[in-house]
Amino acid sequence: MTAFGPPPTPDETGPTPGSEPAASSDPAPGPGAPTGPATPPGSDPAPGPGAPTTSGQPPGPGAELLGGYPPAGGWYYAPPPPPKPGVVPLRPLGFGDVLTGSFDTVKRYRTVLSGYLLRIVGLGVLTLALLTAIGTVMARRGAFDGFALGFWFSAAVDGGAFRATTTTGPSFAASFLALAALVLPAALVMLLLATALQAAAIVVTSYAVLGLPLTVEELRGRVRDRFGPLFLTRLLTALLVGGATAVCWLLLALLGFGLFGAGAPRSLFVVAPPLSLLAVVAVGCYLVIRWGFGPAACVLEGKPPVAALRRSGELVRGSWWRAFGYSALVSIILSTLDQMIQMVLVIPALVVAFAILSDGDPSATRVFLAVTVVGAAMLLPPVATLPISHMSTTLLYTDHRFRSEGLHEQLAADARA
């Protein structure tokens, strides 16, 4: 039994419902062949030897509720529970199964996840601290003075610790490019680390559903194989959702200008901004849920980015509200947990950072140390909760495959074998 992949083809699942039964290979009896005694019309055939007998009484109360099967004597019993080789039972899942299954996955594979997550946190913190130290040196040399020359806070910047050493500052465009040279690499590194984190969470969850052992080497191999397609899937989703919301803003702006030119009442422009924001949020939320299973389909089914998003739309079709409700509840719970952890970690980290920077003019080394402390405290909570969010989404993707494709029956048969 391996981690589940693409849906089975009709040849693998047997004849489709409604197909003609296969013709019997037994030859028809020839003339003169002996035949058994004829059964009188309207009577039931006699039971064979060992066949269970019934008392002729109607089923007892609660038979439909139990969903049982009628053995000898007319007694009914409940069917056996579905197998549970991993963190969730192999049946359609409820919200409790999705939430507890995510936490059980972290608990069961904590040894594999801990080293992987600590490496991601370390790379992220070092990247932010290094870029901040570089930015400190650039600020001392006046690389960002173009912002000070163009905005009202020039006196605060010129009189602060990052005072320019040159007499003539650079232009606004040069300062903007210098800032972009720091921000864009940081954003790219964070996106790459987030992609690796999501890939690891999806792979670990697929193993946890089946209760399979997983080593760090296997996890790295699976992540490495699907890292590129998953990164493109995330990028394509962000571009499509961002483009759709931008188009919505443009259409709403054009509509507002048209109403303003037509002399619409002013009261309309009081309610229009919140309604417009609600409409844009609704469009973005719909697309995010519709394409939310794309990463799982990309990693577990080996689909390219476009096919993964199309596959996600197929799984969500007809059950969008259910996927939205489960995702919203999980997000609320995890965001609350994230805020609680940050309150415990960030406040002491800020105290330490202020103590490091309070001794005179802060150097690049001091800034590097302060940002390392604060960055570690700020990155640990999301790195601790993001895998649980991705795991719950993967379990929800698995549940949709259970309901629409009967994947749980195939996995249950493999688990009983």
Q: Which residues of 179-217 are buried (b: 16+ CB within 10 A; e: fewer)?
A: beebeeebeebeebbbbbbbbbbbbbbbbbbbeeebeee
Residue 145: which of 171, 108, 177 has the closest Cα? 171
Q: What is the mean pLDDT of residues 79-83?
A: 79
Percent of the chain's residues with pLDDT above 70: 71
State mean pLDDT over 46-51: 50
Of residues 145 and 83, more confidence is placed in: 83
> Is residue 162 predicted with pLDDT exceeding 50?
no
The DSSP-derived string for 271-335 is: HHHHHHHHHHHHHHHHHHHHTTTHHHHHHHH---HHHHHHHHHHHHTT-HHHHHHHHHHHHHHHH
Contacts of 269 (CB under 8 A, 6+ apart): 256, 259, 260
State the Cα–Cα distance between residues 100 and 94, nearest whole angstrom.
Answer: 10
Residue 55 has pLDDT above 70, yes or no: no
Give the residue extent of every domain in the chain: 95-416
d(CA 395, CA 206): 8
> Quick one: DSSP state of residue 213?
-
* CA distance linking residue 44 with residue 49, whole number of Å: 15
Residue carrying the six token digits 């009189």: 159
Rounded Cα distance, 139 and 157, in Å: 10
Pick 37 or 131 by higher pLDDT: 131
Q: The tokens of 267 are what?
A: 């009261």
What pLDDT score does 248 carry?
Answer: 87
Please compute the mean of the pLDDT values over residues 388-397 and round it to a whole number: 95
What is the pLDDT at residue 169? Answer: 57
Q: Which residue has the higher pLDDT, 105 or 52?
A: 105
Predicted confidence (pLDDT) at residue 99 exceeds the cutoff of 70: yes
Say whether 417 sits in a helix, a strand or coil.
coil
Of 99, 138, 25, the C-alpha closest to 394 is 99
Structure confidence at residue 129 as a pLDDT band (50, 70, 90): confident
Minimum mean pLDDT range among 28-42, 175-189, 274-288 = 28-42
Task: Quote the mean pLDDT of the chain.
Answer: 77
Q: What pLDDT was estimated at residue 254?
A: 81
| Position 235 pLDDT exceeds 90 | yes
pLDDT confidence tier of residue 309, bands split at 50, 70 and 90:
very high
Quote the distance between the C-alpha of residue 284 and its chain's center: 16
pLDDT of residue 63 exceeding 50: no
